[in-house]
Amino acid sequence: MRHRLTLVLAAIVCAAALPGARSESPRAAIDAWIASHQQAIVGELVDLAAIPDIAADKPDIARNVDALKALLVRHGLTAEALPTAGNPLVYGELNVPGAAGTLLVYAHYDGQPVDPKHWQQPDPFKAVLRDGRLEDGASLVPGPVARARYEPDWRLYARSVSDDKSPIVALLAALDALKAAGRRPASNVHVVLDGEEEAGSPSLVGAIARYRQKLAADAIVILDGPVHPSGRPTVTFGARGILTFELTVFGPKFPLHSGHYGNWVPNPAFELVRLLASMKDDRGRVLVPGFYDGLEPLSPEEQQMLAAVPDDEAALEKLFGISAVEQPGLSLQDAVQRPSLNIRGLSSGFVGAGARTIIPDRATADIDIRLVKETPSAAMLERVKAHIAKQGFFIVDRDPDDATRAAHPRIVKLTVEGGETNAYRTSPLAPASRAVVAAITRMFGEPPVQIRTMGGTVPIAPFIQAMGVPAIGVPIVNFDNNQHAENENLRVGTFFTGITTLAAVLTAPVPAVAHPAPSPVHPAAGAAHQR
C-alpha cells in the first residue's frame, strides 16, 4: 500500500515536472521516468513477491489473484479472474482508440516450490537486497529494500522476483512511463496471467475456447525467461519441443553369475549400448533415418541473425571444461536450430563399491529428443521406433512375459514419459516480428539479440500453436537469476532496462492478422505466420 501511493504520486509529479521530456529522445524520457520511480516500481514487485505463489497452494493463489487484479486496475486496465480447470487466469485490457491490432501479453504469476533451508535469507518470499551476486560474495544492502536509488548491479533475492513477477510489474511501469512521456501503445494491450506455468500450464489451451473473444489477438508477447547472457535486449521467436522416452532392454529373467554364464547368456547392457550407438555417430550426427527430415537450409537473413547473437562460445567451453563441441564446426545457435538426441540417464546392474559380477537382467536408457518445428513429436517417435526395429529389436510397452521372451531374442520396452511438447517458431520475417524488432531498435539505437529458436522447451508452446498468431518472446531478467533454484534473484539494472524494452514493444504497430480468431480445433491454422 505504501508503494502504491508513492507510485501514483510520483507519476503525477513526474508528468507535471517533466513536460520537456517529450522533446528528448524517446529513450531518454522513458529512462528518466524510470529513474525517478525506482522506489515505487521495486516496492510494487517486493509486495507482489511477498505473496507465496506455489501453484498447488490454493489460498495463496487466491491472494495473488486479488493482488494482481488490484494492480491492473491501479495502472488503468480492466481486471478480472477467468476461472479454468485449474488456477484462474488473471485477465486485463487496455484498449487504445484507433489501434490496428491487439497484443496479448502473457506472463505467469505462480512460482517454483521453495525449500527455505537452502536459501541464504530467512524467508524466500521476503525479498532482500544485495550489492551483487551471492556467488561472488555480495553483501546485504542495509535499510529498507525499496529505496530511492539502486546501483545497476544490485540484486533483489526472493522467489519469483525474476520468474515471473518482475515482467508483470515492468509491463505496468512501461505503460505508465509511456503515458508520462505523452505516448500511447500502438495496439490494444490484453494481459493474461497464468497461475500454473511452473506446473506445466495444463489449463491454458482449454481456456482458449472458453474465452475466445477475450483471448483473441493479432500477436502474443511472452514475458518470461532471461535475456541473452550479454545482457542486451533480446527477442525470441521460438523454442524447441521435447519428447522423452525410456528404453529397457531385457536379458535373463534374473541377474546371472558372469563367470558361470558369461559368453553364453546375452548381456542386455551390451545390446542397449549397441542400440544407442547405432543412433548417433562420433561427430554428433543422429543416424535415425528421417531425424532431420523437413529441415531446410537457413536463408541468408536467418544465418545473419544467428551469427549476430553475441555468444561467447570460448568462455562457455572453459566454464564447462570441454575442449570440443559435439558437432565439429556447429555454433551454439546453429546447434539449437536442429533436433537433438540426448541420453539423459543410463542404468544397469551396479557400479562402484556395490558392483557385483553379474550379467544384469535389464539395461535402461532415458532419452530426450529436443524437437524443432519441422519435427513434430509423433512423427519423430515413429522414426525412432522404425530405427529400433531395424536393429533387430522387438518393441514392447511392458515387461515381456515368457511367451514374448521365447519368441524374440532382442526385446526392448519403449515407454513415453512425461508427455510431449512440440516446438514452436514464429517467423522473424512476420510483420509483427519485424515491428517489435524495429521498435526496440529505434529505442536503443541497435537491434536486440534475436533468438530464432531457444534450445529449451516452454509449456505454453501448445497454447501458442492453438492460438495460431505470431508469438514473440521478450525476456527482461538477467540470465544468471537462479531461476527454479534457491536464491532466485533479479539484477535491478537489467530489470529497469527491461521496462524500457517493454515500453518500446508497446509502441510497435502490430498489424491485424487476416484471421484473428484463435482456432483451437485446428492448431495449424496459424501456420502461415510461422516457419
Residues 363-402 contacting a copy of itself, CB under 8 A = 363-366, 368, 370, 392, 400, 402
Q: How far is the CB of 349 from a copy of itself (least distance, A)?
A: 4
Amino acid, single-letter form, for residue 520: P
Q: How far is the CB of 222 from a copy of itself (least distance, A)?
A: 16
CB count within 10 Å of CB 180 equals: 26
- The only residue of 6, 126, 153, 270 in contact with a copy of itself, by rule CB under 8 A: 270
- Does 23 interact with a copy of itself (rule: CB under 8 A)? no
Residue with cell 570441454: 322
Size of the site for a copy of itself (CB under 8 A): 85
Please identify, using beta-carbon distances, which residue of 324 and 514 lies nearer to a copy of itself. 324
Residue with cell 525476456: 475
- Which of 231, 208, 229 lies closest to 468, judged by CA? 208
| Stretch near a copy of itself under the rule CB under 8 A, chosen from 1-9, 116-124, 126-134, 357-365 | 357-365
3-class DSSP state for residue 367?
A: strand
- The only residue of 200, 231, 284, 447 in contact with a copy of itself, by rule CB under 8 A: 284
Determine the distance from the C-alpha atom of residue 21 to the mean position of all C-alpha atoms in its chain, rounded to a whole number. 36
207 within 8 A of 82, measured Cβ to Cβ: yes
Please identify, using beta-carbon distances, which residue of 376 and 455 lies nearer to a copy of itself. 455
- Does 292 interact with a copy of itself (rule: CB under 8 A)? no
Please identify, using beta-carbon distances, which residue of 151 and 399 lies nearer to a copy of itself. 399
- Does 136 interact with a copy of itself (rule: CB under 8 A)? no
- Which of 91, 87, 89 lies closest to 77, judged by CA? 91
Interaction with a copy of itself in 397-436: which residues (CB under 8 A)? 400, 402, 405-409, 417-418
7 within 8 A of 71, measured Cβ to Cβ: no
- The only residue of 22, 58, 356, 390 in contact with a copy of itself, by rule CB under 8 A: 356
Interaction with a copy of itself in 212-241: which residues (CB under 8 A)? 240
Interaction with a copy of itself in 44-63: which residues (CB under 8 A)? none
- Which of 192, 162, 198 lies closest to 56, judged by CA? 198
Interaction with a copy of itself in 446-485: which residues (CB under 8 A)? 454-457
- The only residue of 187, 348, 500, 530 in contact with a copy of itself, by rule CB under 8 A: 348
275 within 8 A of 391, measured Cβ to Cβ: yes
Instruction: Collect all residues with Cβ–Cβ distance below 8 Å to 239 and sequence separation of at least 6.
Output: 423, 424, 453, 454, 455, 456, 457, 458, 461, 473
The DSSP bridge pattern shows strands 411-421 and 241-250 to be antiparallel
| Stretch near a copy of itself under the rule CB under 8 A, chosen from 155-163, 175-183, 258-266, 512-520 | 258-266
Residues forming a β-bridge with 129: 156
Interaction with a copy of itself in 317-336: which residues (CB under 8 A)? 318-327, 330, 332, 335-336
